[in-house]
Amino acid sequence: MVAAPSPDDQLAVLHDLRPRMSVLEFVFHHGDTGHSLAAALSGLGPERTVGVGPRPGYQRADPKAVLHRYAYDRSIIAALRDIGGLFTLVTSPRGDRVEWTELGDVDLAIYDRSGRLFLYTVTHEGLIFVR
């Protein structure tokens, strides 16, 4: 098993990829009401959609999930830093492998200027995919 990158390493990857970022999408699997990231980024006026179709890492649609779509803004990376990164990988006594930061069960997808997906996370598995 490969250990997940630390939250500091995750943020370093995001910083390195900033020049490619055009659009960032966050999927709030348990809704966005009261979520600290949604609150921190509310001034950016996200495009908000309730119900999400199949996505990388998820074969089925999730009608209860909420998607926030943002044009790249440096405050997004700062907000991720402030909540502790994406996730950390641990093994708990119950056998769970993922310990969430304040971000919780929220996935991230990043697209370049041509609309191509080049980074996405599957938080519940502790995975970050970079193309």
Domain segments of the chain as ranges: 7-53+61-130
List, for residues 116-127, the tens digit of each pLDDT value: 999 998 877 777
pLDDT tens for each residue of 4-19: 677 788 889 899 999 9
Q: Which of 123, 92, 130 is nearest to 108 (CA)?
A: 123
> Residue 65 contacts by C-beta under 8 Å, 6 or more apart in sequence?
27, 28, 29, 31, 50, 51, 52
What pLDDT score was predicted for residue 2?
A: 46
pLDDT at 99: 63
Query: CB-based burial of residue 41 (10 Å sphere; 0-12 exposed, 13-18 middle, 19+ buried)?
Result: buried
Asked if pLDDT for residue 68 goes beyond 70, the answer is yes
Instruction: State pLDDT tens for residues 55-64.
Output: 877 888 999 9
What is the distance between the alpha carbons of residues 51 and 28, in angstroms, rounded to a whole number?
A: 10
H or E stretch covering 14: helix 7-17
SS3 81: helix
**Can you give the pLDDT at residue 115?**
95
